[in-house]
Structure 1
Amino acid sequence: MKCGLGKCGHCQINDLNACIDGPVFRYTDIEAYQEAI
């Protein structure tokens, strides 16, 4: 991750930021995001 603060958008997947909302996600939370799987 570049910034770790959710500002750069490098780890953004639609409306989720891995640095803020993750980095671990439940499958049920991200199954709709094909680019995340």
Structure 2
Amino acid sequence: MPNQTKSDSQRQDQYLVAGTTIVMLTLYIIILASNLM
């Protein structure tokens, strides 16, 4: 059981990191586009 919860928490962390990186990339692209405009 402890191993299962550990893997679940790790998975959540990975999702968090992926989400934050995607948000940062989208914001960066939007800023670049606005600067080019």
Give TM-score scaled by structure 2 length: 0.16
Higher fraction of strand? 1
> Of the two structures, which has the highest relative contact order with CA contacts closer than 8 Å and spacing of 6 or more?
1
Higher fraction of helix? 2
